[in-house]
Amino acid sequence: MSLTVLITYAGALFIAAAIPGPGITAIVARALGVLVPYMLLASRARTMLKQPRALQALNRVASGILAGTAAFIATRAA
């Protein structure tokens, strides 16, 4: 995880905490509860997708989904 990403999320949480009102602690806690696992997952995905075989598998799965969607739309339109 890069320093830029951490600074960006810290800034967003600072802005959320600076807004007055009830439940700011709950908003920040929920944001951390969602963003931290998401950041860890994205970091792991980035390292995994640097491998050519993983990128090829992702491309094949995505093309299969797109082809299936196109076929579904084509059969519904007919």
What is the distance between the alpha carbons of residues 48 and 41, in angstroms, rounded to a whole number? 10
Report the predicted TM-score, pTM, of the whole model to 2 decimal places: 0.50
**Cα–Cα distance, 56 to 5 (Å, whole number):** 27
Phi, psi of 54 (to 5 degrees): -70, -40
Q: What is the pLDDT of residues 27-58, one digit of tens each?
A: 777 777 878 888 888 888 888 889 999 999 99
pLDDT at position 73 over 90 = yes
- Whole-number pLDDT of residue 22: 57
Domain of 47 in residue numbering reads as: 3-77
If pLDDT is split at 50, 70 and 90, which confidence band does 20 have? low
Domain total in the chain? 1
Which pair of tokens denotes residue 65? 């989904």
DSSP-derived 3-state class of residue 19: coil
Token pair recorded at residue 3: 């320093």
pLDDT of res. 55: 92
Per the model's pLDDT, the better-predicted residue between 12 and 40 turns out to be 40
